[in-house]
Amino acid sequence: MTILRIVLLAALFVSPLMAEKYPTQVKKSVTFLFSRDTANRLAVQGTGFFVLMRTDQGNDTATFGYLVTTKKALQRSTGEYLDTMYIRINRKDGYSDTLLVLLTVNGERRFFPHPDSTVDLAVIPAYPDLNRYDILYIPASMVVAADYFEKEKVTEGMPLFHVGIFNEHIGVFRNIPAVRFGSIVQFSEEKYRWNGVLTEFYVMEPGSSSGSAGAPVYHYAESAKDTGGTVRPARLALCGIVAGSFREGAHGRDAARVIPSYKLNELLMAPAVIAERDKEFLRMRNEREKK
């Protein structure tokens, strides 16, 4: 038997990618995050994007949606977590909805930070209505493992792009994402010291705006022929999440700190997240059996 929570039928991931600068459909995976400021106005907190994960239990299969962002995007400037936040999500009619998201219910967190406190990453279970909203879930299979860069020979200077907020114009009636193209400028075998703690990330430029924290970072390789004349199809991979800006040198040159995507894999397989999926599995099974 199959339990179906969310259906994803995205041509981007079931058809060969066309030769283009980047697959523009990925812009539909992002949403913009807000909180209320002291004047009760919506203030930008960051960017988030949707990931879809399929899991099996015996003969049952279920799909689970997650909104991925940074922990900082869910925090006040003091570092305390918000109790509520808002996401603005595009509708299929060309406009958008701003939805209230409860981060705490009856004192219990409804989101999951990475178990390593030095990793600025969090996920929120999220199931927006695909009939109403113009969004795209990124399959968890696109989230690459730690050895991806070595296998694909991705090194410093290789192009990447990320999709997030352009603070100067986020859109009036709907989200208008910004797409920034850049390259990796540094991998480090050592952890970086950031805000007094050692943490793991890599560095790319150009940098990001403050609202781009939580933006997905992609590696896109166009289709090409190998030495034997065989055509290798285009490939798109989620290889990181923007953590924020990184000031370099005396000239203040901007660069972006990027959390490696395998940290997202770690979070999705963390005991607390698995337990939540198991709980939801049981709830859905009980609902089905009552019908």
What pLDDT was estimated at residue 17? 44
Domain ranges of the chain: 22-290
Q: What are phi and psi of 206, to 5 degrees?
A: -70, 170
CATH (residue range 22-290): 2.40.10.10
Distance CA(31)–CA(137), nearest Å, equals 11
Coil, strand or helix: which one is 59? coil
Mean pLDDT of 151-160: 85
Element (H, E) at 223: none
CA–CA gap between residue 119 and residue 116 (Å, rounded): 6
**Of 8-12, 29-33, 251-255, 286-290, which range is least confident?**
8-12
Coil, strand, or helix at residue 162?
A: strand
pLDDT category, 4, cuts 50, 70, 90?
Answer: very low
In terms of Cβ atoms closer than 10 Å to its own Cβ (0-12, 13-18, 19+), residue 60 is middle
Run of H or E including 277: helix 271-290
Q: Kindly report, residue by residue over 10-63, the tens digit of the pLDDT.
A: 444 434 444 467 788 899 999 999 998 888 889 999 999 999 998 877 777 888
pLDDT digits (tens, 9 = 90+) for 189-200: 889 888 888 999
* Res 234: pLDDT: 65
Local structure of 218: helix, strand or coil? strand
Work out the mean pLDDT of the chain and round it to a whole number. 83
Type of residue found at 46: G
pLDDT at 31: 95
- For residue 40, the 8-state DSSP code is S
pLDDT, mean of residues 258-282: 92
For residue 91, give the amino acid letter.
R
> Residue 207 corresponds to which tokens in the numbers above?
């940098």
Rounded distance between C-alpha atoms, residue 220 and residue 128, angstroms: 27
Cα 124 to Cα 66: distance, rounded to the nearest angstrom: 5
